[in-house]
Structure 1
Amino acid sequence: MSADDSDKVKEAMHRLFWVVEEVRRQYPRMELGQLAILLSVLAEPGMWARDLTGKVKLKKSALSRNVKALSNLSYLMDEEGNRREGLDLITQIPDALDQRAYLLTPTEKGRDLAERLAALMR
């Protein structure tokens, strides 16, 4: 690798570091699988959840749990038995013909995060 290529790699790693740090700062409990899902949805808004399964290499059940955590209501319960609030970064839009299938789109909060992360990458 040439010195110029090495400098480009270092620069890219610094930008990636700041992106990861921004996500960690705002969402300290976000898991890497959730981050992979979120970044996929931000890159391809309106994708089908089933198409994401192979892309992020998660089983359907794990994908569903992580999508719920990224949505407005988590799969986790609080002390009173109510569903905890999710991160509200993506929305699930059910298919009219198959309620098990749904499209994933970023919320306004998710789009705002995408803009901040994109700015860090420049």
Structure 2
Amino acid sequence: MTEAPTYKKMSMQRVFQLVQALREVHSDMQIETAQLFVLIAMNPGITMRELQDLSGQRQAKVSRNVTIMSEWKTAEEPGLDLVMSEIDPHERRRKLVHLTSKGEELAERLAGLMS
């Protein structure tokens, strides 16, 4: 096995640490779920439509991934409790998505790994 150049190795170690931190939350976390988590952390109060546009994911996939990251995945199965959605008070057909306190902690941890 050959060694990666130092600059690449350092960057890849950070990426690896980020992936590991996400896997500690949920060992089977899909990249699409992680992508949405980062977009929500970057844009508190983002709409489901904006998540769809920015991620390139279809509406059903965005909805499913936000549900996985919510407090409850189904009535019987808990979710990851990283995000919460609420109805937009100005447009009742829209949902706004924010991080929960657990989601904020994870976002802070991921940001710390980057510095």
TM-score normalised by L of structure 1: 0.82
Mapping of 1:107-122 within 5 angstroms?
Answer: 107-122=100-115
RMSD: 1.5
Unmatched 5+ stretches in structure 1: 1-5, 77-81
Whole-angstrom CA distance in 1 between matches of 2:12 and 2:78: 33
Structure 2 gaps, min length 5: none
Residue 24 of structure 1 corresponds to 23
Amino acid of the structure 1 residue aligned with 2:60: S
Shift, 1:101, TM fit? 1.1
Q: CA deviation at 1:98?
A: 4.0
Q: Percent identity?
A: 31
Q: Distance in 2 between matches of 1:100 and 1:66?
A: 19
Residue pair 2:41, 2:107 contacting (<8 A) in 1 also: yes
The structural deviation recorded for 1:19 is 0.7
The answer to whether structure 1 residue 40 and structure 2 residue 39 are counterparts is yes
The amino acid of 1:37's aligned partner reads L
Paired residue for 1:60?
Answer: 59
Equivalent residue for 2:96? 103
- Secondary structure at the counterpart of residue 101 of structure 1: strand
2:39 partner amino acid: S
Runs of 4+ in 1 over 6 A off after TM superposition: none
What are the Cα deviations for residues 14-53 of structure 1, in whole angstroms up to 9, with x where unaligned? 1111011111122112111110000110111111111110
| Secondary structure at 1:42 match in 2 | helix
TM-score normalised per structure 2: 0.86
Deviation at 1:9, TM superposition (A): 3.3
Aligned residues between the structures = 111
